[in-house]
Amino acid sequence: MFKNLTIGQHYPVESPVHNLDPRVKIIITLAFLVSLFLIDSFSTYLIVVVFLTAAITISKVPVKFVIKGLRPILMIIIITFVINLLMTPGRIIFQAGFIKITEEGLKQAGFMAIRLTLLIMGTSLLTLTTSPIILTDGIESLLKPFKRFGLPAHELAMMMTIALRFIPTLMEETEKIMKAQKSRGADFESGNIMSRAKNLVPLLVPLFISAFRRADELAMAMEARCYRGGENRTRMRQLKISKGDYAASFIFIVYFAAVIALKIW
């Protein structure tokens, strides 16, 4: 399951989306997330699907690779759907004992499931088309105006990027530990919730030890390379806004305006 996780991974190909300025992609991604919460009709989601499909196609990232990233959170999507389906009051369309399904609950459940799916796919596209180093530079550049208020922009950007980068690594480490524990007779699937939670102890302890060891090795490597923060740091690639960035921004503004117009009308 963990090998299907795409958040934090970079898909290195040459495409117009990969060549966009990271600051533009970060702002577009944040505005895309905001647009998802402005939608209140299923017809508007068609525009989102068309926009996201076009972005994935232009990025040259395989659609199957993006969809594969939904598998680890499929259970979360199902639980969200069921909770909204059963807990939303309204006009009852089906009832069996204490189970009541309302028309408003069915609509709300569909909204939440679609919104969560599109949210994961949209955010995954940012990390898939942006390398960790470039993503760090973009976040740092966006946070630079807050340095006058004492915000450590470089350190915060580096911390966020390292956290994203190590998600696939930790998931891979978790899968290796699970296989090793299963070969020794550990059972992570049978029993009730309490017994499953107890069975996770042999998994969590070596995972935490491995995470701390990796963090210590990373700190020693940075110290060995005389890392002293972002002051007076030079970059091989300077961030510059190009014509492609303006074109992408214009296309997104048209998309965002269409979402707002449909919400008003």
Which residues, 6+ apart, have CB-to-CB distance to 43 below 8 Å? 262
The answer to whether the pTM exceeds 0.85 is no
pLDDT in tens, 217-227: 888 888 888 77
pLDDT of residue 1: 47
- Which of 89-98, 155-164, 188-197, 217-226 has the least mean pLDDT? 188-197
3-state secondary structure of 102: strand
pLDDT in tens, 183-226: 877 776 676 767 776 777 777 888 888 888 888 888 888 888 87
Residue from 125, 123, 158, 135 nearest 22 by CA: 135
Give the helix/strand (H/E) hosting 94. strand 92-96
Residue from 165, 125, 157, 137 nearest 29 by CA: 125
Is the per-residue pLDDT at 4 higher than 60? Answer: no
Is the per-residue pLDDT at 2 higher than 70? Answer: no
Question: What whole-number percentage of the chain has pLDDT above 90?
Answer: 24
pLDDT band at residue 233 using 50, 70 and 90 as cut-offs:
low
Is the per-residue pLDDT at 3 higher than 60? Answer: no
pLDDT of residue 15: 92
pLDDT in tens, 104-145: 888 889 889 999 999 988 888 888 898 877 888 888 888 888
Token pair in block for residue 206: 């070596």
As a whole number of angstroms, the distance between CA 4 and CA 68 comes to 6
